[in-house]
Structure 1
Amino acid sequence: MKTQVAIIGAGPSGLLLSQLLHRRGIASVVLEKRSRAHVMGRIRAGVLEQGMVDLLREAGVAARLEREALIHEGIDIAFAGRRRRIDLAGLTGGAHVTIYGQTEVTKDLFEARDAMEGIVIDEAEAVTPQGVDTAAPFVTFTKDGRTHCVECDFVAGCDGYHGVSRTVIPPAMLKVFERVYPLGWLGLLSETPPIADELIYVSHERGFALCSLRSPTRSRYYLQCRTDEDVTQWPDDRFWAELKRRLPEDVAGHLVMGPAIEKSVAPLRSVVAEPLRHGRLFLAGDAAHIVPPTGAKGLNLAASDIHYLSQGLIAYYQNGDEAGLTGYSQRALRRIWKAERFSWWMTNLLHTFPDDDGFTRGIRRAELDYLVNSKAAMTVLAENYVGLPYE
C-alpha cells in the first residue's frame, strides 16, 4: 500500500489531519489499533476553543456542531462558600467556548472520512513506523493474521501517550518533561439536566469539584480524589453526597441526581516531549503532550498541533515549501508550553494537595480572592481559557 501521509491513531487528531489533507488532495491512510467502537466509546473533553471550532469548519465537519453545540460566554469560580462569574466574552472582546463532546467530534470525523471513502484501518496490530530518518519511511502492521506495509512520504504519530510513535525517536534525541500530581479526578456522566448553564469550578477544603455538561440533558461532574481511588467504592449515592458537600449552598439545591452512565478515575499529570519531529515522523496530540484537564486544554492543544502540521504538509505538497514542516515543532511547542502553564496554574489554584500547610492554604485563598476582584487577573484567565491565538 502506498500513500503520502501515514497517520497512526484514529482519535480526533489523526482523523482531523486526514480530513484536512484529503480536502486539499493529499492522500493518507489512518491506522488504529483499537476497534472503532472502542474509539467511539471514549468519554473525554467537551470544551472547545474557537480555534478548534474554526478548524472543524475548515475540515467540513462542523454542521452538527453548529446545530447542537452550546455557546458559553463565562464560567463560575466558587470558593469559601461563594462564587463569582468570570465573563469570558466581556473580558476578551466577545470570545467564547463551545460545549460539544469529544465523542461527538470523533463521530463526525468518522462519518466524514467514510463519506469521502477515506482509508481508516482499525484493529491494526503491531503498528510500527520504520525508516523515519530516511527519505522513504514506511509503517508495518498486522491485520487478520497478515502483515501489511504502508509506504509513505511522512508519518504522523497521533496515537496518544501510550502509543508507539514517540518510542521510535532515539532516547538521546528526545526530552520528556513531566510533572505527576498526587491526585486524580473521579468523573461521573449522567442523563440529568446540568446544575447550571455554565461550568462551575469549585475550590473546597475537601478537594476540588467541577460541574460540567455535554448538553441540556446530560451532565458531567468531577471530584478530586486519590490517584489510586477504586471506582467500585464510589456508588452513585456516595458520589452525589460528596459533590453536594463541596458545592456552595445556593448551587447544591439545584443538583439533579441520577444513575451514572459512566464513572472513571483519571490521574493528573503534565507531559511535554521535545522535539515533535524526527526525520519524517511528526508527533501530535497526546503523543506529544498531556495536560491536566483543569484548564480544558487537552483536545484543544491537539487541534492546534494539527493546524500547524496540516499547514506544513499542505504547503509542502502544493508549493514544495518545507518551511512549515521544518518549523512545526518550534511553532507547536510555543503554544503547548503556554497551555501547560495555564493548566498547571489552574490545577494548583483550585486543588488541595497532601503536603499543604497553613501558609499554602492562605496563599491559595488570597490568590482566589485577588482573582475574582481584579479585572486584570480575570482577563488573564479569560484569555487563556477561551484559547490563545494560533501564531
Structure 2
Amino acid sequence: MNFKVPRGTQDILPSESWKWQQVESIIREVCDMYRYKEIRTPIFEQTEVFLRTVGDTTDIVTKEMYTFTDRGNRSMTLRPEGTAPVVRSFVENKMFGYPDQPVKLYYQGPMFRYERQQAGRYRQFVQFGVEAIGSADPAIDVEVISLAMEVYKRAGLKDIKLVLNSLGDIESRNAHKNALVAHFTPSIGEFCKDCQSRLEKNPLRILDCKVDHKNPLMATAPSLTDYLNEESKTYFDQVKSYLDDVGIGYELDPNLVRGLDYYNHTAFEIMSTSDGFGAITTLCGGGRYNGLAEELGGPAAPGIGFGMSIERLLLAMDAEGKSFKQESELDVYIVTLDTPAHRKGFKLLNEFRSAGIRADMDYMDRKMKAQMKSADRFNAKLVIVIGEDEVNGNVVQLKNMGDGSQEQVSDENIIETIKEQLK
C-alpha cells in the first residue's frame, strides 16, 4: 500500500527546512527588537472560540474549519487562524492586569483550513503573527505594520506594497451595512447562495466573495469610507499620518474588507508586486479588532495584529530571485580506514561535539574515496583521516579543505588545532 502526504499538506525536507529556519531567525530577531514576546497556544480550541470571533458567515467558519467531536462530546476545531486563540489566552490568563500595557505577543505555528490547494496555499500552513492588545493608540497600528514590513525587508524583498483601508467603528459599519443591503437586495438572486444568506447577516462579506467578485454590482457597491463618522475618520487620518512620519508608503483601497468579522478601524494587507508571483498577491493581512476581548469574556482591551504566511514569504523570495546564504554545514568530517580507526574516530567525534565543533563521520563502511566525497557534499571545512599508523601513533591527519594544506596533529592537541583553524 502506498502512503502519501495528505492532500493540501507538504513535507518540508532538509533541503528546504534550513530556509524556514532562516525566516524563523529573522522573525525572532525583529520581534525581540520591537519587544514582542512569544506565546504558544494549543493547535485546537473549543469551536465556539472561532464561531464567536471569526464570524459564522465567513468562508473560514462555513467551509474551511477542521472541526471534530472529542471523547467528551465537546466540539473542537483545529485553529484556522491565530488571533482568536491569543486573545482567548489574554483573557483567560488575565494579561489585562499586567503592569506594562499594551501586551505585545507573537506566535508562529501551523494553522488548518480546508481549502483548494494553490501555489503557496495549503490546508496545513505555517503562520507568523503578532498581537498588540490593550492600546487604542493609532501609533501602535503603525508599529505593527512596521514590524511586518521589517521582516520582509530583512528577507530581501523589495517588490511589495502596503494596501490600507478603514472599516470604521460599529456606528459607521451599521450605516454602511444598511447601504449595502439596499444596494444588493434588488439583484441578490444573481448572486451565489452564500451571498444570499449573507445579505441580512453580514452584507460586508458579500464584497469578499470569491464566486461573485466580477459581478458589476461589486464595483458600484457603496464604499465604507463614505460612511465613516468623524471619530473613525480622525483615527484613520492619524494612522496615515504616522505612516507618513516613518516613511512607509501605502495605497488606499476602499474595497479591502479582510476575511474575518472581528476587524474594525484599520485594515491592511501587504502584497507582492513581483512579476510571476501569481494571481493571489497577498502576503500578509491584519487590522484592528477592538471588542474581541469582550466577545471572549474579558474586559475592554483594544487590539491590533496581523497574520503572515511563511510559505508565501518564501514564494515571494523565489519570485524576486532572493535567497538565503546556506552556511557550511560541517566543521569537521572524520574519514576512517579500518575498524580500529573507526573506533578512534567515533571517540574523537563525541569529544569534538562536546567542544562545540560540528562534526560527522561515515557509518556505512565505505572506501576512503567515497568518504571524501561525503565531506565535499557536507561542505566540511576540515577533514581528519585516521588509519593504522594514526591509531598506533596517537595522531591524526588534518586537511584544510579551503587551501588544501595538511598536517599531522597529536590527539591531545587536535581540538585546540581545529578551533584555531576554524577561526
TM-score tier (shorter): under 0.3
Greater relative contact order: 1 or 2 (C-alpha under 8 angstroms, separation 6 or more)? 1
Higher strand fraction (1 or 2): 1
State the TM-score, normalizing by the size of structure 1.
Answer: 0.24
State the TM-score, normalizing by the size of structure 2.
Answer: 0.23
Which of structures 1 and 2 has the bigger CA Rg? 2
